[in-house]
Structure 1
């Protein structure tokens, strides 16, 4: 046994780990039961036929057709009784972007349209959606030609599941699903890590002008180690003799830009100490958001 273990370890070191296998090719797998358990596990009522269609990607159908041709199976006599998820994915993607835009405007009413678009774009990137899909167990159920499943395929599969949920349970229930699983990805994220602002001071001046507030005046509040290799400056922004915000930086320009970002976060209501998002159950949720979801 020792010699066998040594040889297998040496073989693994030389050849590397074996290629990954999809969950459907591993033992103790019942696809029909797993699809049924998926919606029950998420406490959703999704049509079983729509849910099975949502997991079928076009590349899987192409692979199956090529495999059947290689085996000599007549495509006309025994057609492949599967349908791809292209239409469901389009419907789910459109609903997701519309809902997230409405939810972002309702949660941050002072945020301009550019900021809303950046937040929605961040939440609907392939990396974020694929991360959510993998943690929901969608990767194991996805019928795809490649293993592991690429992020773009997971993205389209997740959107197809959203489309199936919308057709089965309606817009309101689907909106709460997106709120609970996609909108929560904003927790711990800074606004300007999502939204790239080249000139924060210029944007702050525009926002204050819209509110009929005098333009900000930067002033050096305090400094430390100015003559060392690690200087630190604190710049405060004053408007009408009132302190709007202050920020640190290694240079005066960097400190001024950081202070402008702090002031913008306050204006937009996206500060670290802001009121937490309302993720209460649907029956206890506020009526305006329900109406916003139902309007889509």
Structure 2
């Protein structure tokens, strides 16, 4: 390659350089969102007949007819995995949303309602973070009767502390802004200031924080279900699938655990990627052209 060719490459004429960092971030974010949407839509609309029992096909290894193989009852593992992932995503969405709202309310209250409120919220955060996470999840789920509602309540009530600290720190900075001080001098209430001045600034961080809670919510839902304190065995959840698979790993049915576990890991990584890239897009100082 001659000097002109090197100059062309270095000056950005290479095909991969046609897309700047923001463009690549948008592309990755869009691709992750599309994949998650497709999996969720397919799983929700999937009929139970897609993974009917067929004992003549039990414990078949992966093939063209059954890409993920079949389980001990002859059910198609690909269909069960997609269905289970859609259940995990829906539970994660609900739990992460509730947890983020709790964090937003407590974070704003701690920063705006005085030292006593700040101290109470701080004590609650320290208490929640001081208890082993999985133990707290199991206890809350068990007390709430396990099942779908038990899992959602357990995950929602255990994932707000760290996000609360972030919201509180952000509000502490915003409340010293000139427009907030002017509003206070004009006699505006804390509720008015929070609604008019703080929420518009917090919404992008709230949205990104909710997305970043998704991976934790999904993994913890699968974890407590795997331990027997989550979703019922009748549901094709990933935690249930992995629990059933443990009985057959010793006889060589590796696909029963490998594909659902790997798919769950990919979903978690997709949500992590989506959240991190949206954070870059919504924070211009970190999303350079």
Q: TM-score range by the shorter chain?
A: under 0.3
Structure 1 length-normalised TM: 0.22
Tell which has more relative contact order, 1 or 2 (C-alpha 8 A, sep 6+). 2
From the two aligned structures, give the one with the greater strand fraction. Answer: 1
From the two aligned structures, give the one with the greater helix fraction. Answer: 2
Structure 2 length-normalised TM: 0.23
